[in-house]
């Protein structure tokens, strides 16, 4: 028999962590070993660094930046991430996979299924809830258009994205300037770059563009 999979559980709901761990100990006895748990991004990063687990069970929505932030800061070559979320929203799934997760299951999963998913992720497979599998494939099939869009968004610098978000919400240049502690001229420069990079021509189009992609 192989050694048990070493796991860290990350979720901001104490009761949910408790339930997950209880299930893992019941259904995954001998197969899964829970090393630690964490309730927010900082705790999670610390726990990953300390234990170097095989698999991190990661909630997508977390105080302190979300699961993606954990994966960004908690780099560890031997550690794989399995997202465990209530949400099956497109942006959550895609964002989490892009962030480096090897799987994404919803919280409707049962204990034995979860143990199996953990085992497979530890072995290097990708795992998705049945309802998500078709969706993920669709997303990749439709990635031509999506890719074009997201490449545009990726081309924006961090500062440009901040300005973009505020403008799309209807802020005047003056208000954006005050909010970000920069001059109006700088806001104009960033906006000019944003519009050029996204191939748009006005703040109105930008508002539509952003709301279409749920970036607000």
Partner DNA sequence: CGGACCATCGGGGTCGACCCTGATCCTCCC
Partner DNA sequence: GGGAGGATCAGGGTCGACCCCGATGGTCCG
- Chain residues binding DNA by CB under 7 A are 157-160, 167, 172-174, 180, 182-186, 188-192, 195-196, 201-204
Residue owning tokens 């979860």: 114
Q: In sequence order, what are the residues at sequence separation of 6 or more whose Cβ sits closer than 8 angstroms to the Cβ of residue 3?
A: none
Which of 145/158 has CB closer to DNA? 158
Which of 81/171 has CB closer to DNA? 171
DSSP state of 182: S
What is the rounded distance in angstroms from the CA atom of residue 213 to the CA atom of residue 184?
27
Q: Are 106 and 96 in contact (CB under 8 A)?
A: no
From 16-24, 96-104, 134-142, 189-197, give the range in contact with a second copy by CB under 8 A: 16-24
Which residues in 119-178 contact a second copy (CB under 8 A)? 170
For the beta carbon of residue 2, count every other beta carbon within 10 angstroms: 9
Under the binding rule (CB under 8 A), the answer on residue 107 touching a second copy is yes
Contact residues: a second copy, CB under 8 A: 12-20, 22-23, 86, 107-108, 110-111, 114, 170, 204-205, 207-208
């Amino acid at each position: 028999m192989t050694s048990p999979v070493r796991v860290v559980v990350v979720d901001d709901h104490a009761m949910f962590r408790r339930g997950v761990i209880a299930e893992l100990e019941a259904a995954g006895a001998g197969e899964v070993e829970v090393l630690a748990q964490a309730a927010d991004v900082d705790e999670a990063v610390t726990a990953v660094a300390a234990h170097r687990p095989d698999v991190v069970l990661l909630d997508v929505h977390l105080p302190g930046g979300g699961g993606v932030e954990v994966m960004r800061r908690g780099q560890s070559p031997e550690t794989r991430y399995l997202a465990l979320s209530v949400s099956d929203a497109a942006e959550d799934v895609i964002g989490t996979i892009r962030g480096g997760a090897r799987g994404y299951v919803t919280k409707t999963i049962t204990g034995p299924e979860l143990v199996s998913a953990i085992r497979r992720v530890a072995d290097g497979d990708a795992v998705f809830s049945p309802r998500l599998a078709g969706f993920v494939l669709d997303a990749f099939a439709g990635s031509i258009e999506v890719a074009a869009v997201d490449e545009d968004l990726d081309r924006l610098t961090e500062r440009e994205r901040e300005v973009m978000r505020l403008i799309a919400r209807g802020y005047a240049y003056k208000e954006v300037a005050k909010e970000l502690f920069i001059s109006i001229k700088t806001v104009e420069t960033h906006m000019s770059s944003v519009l050029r990079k996204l191939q748009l021509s006005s703040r109105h189009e930008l508002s539509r563009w952003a709301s279409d992609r749920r970036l607000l």
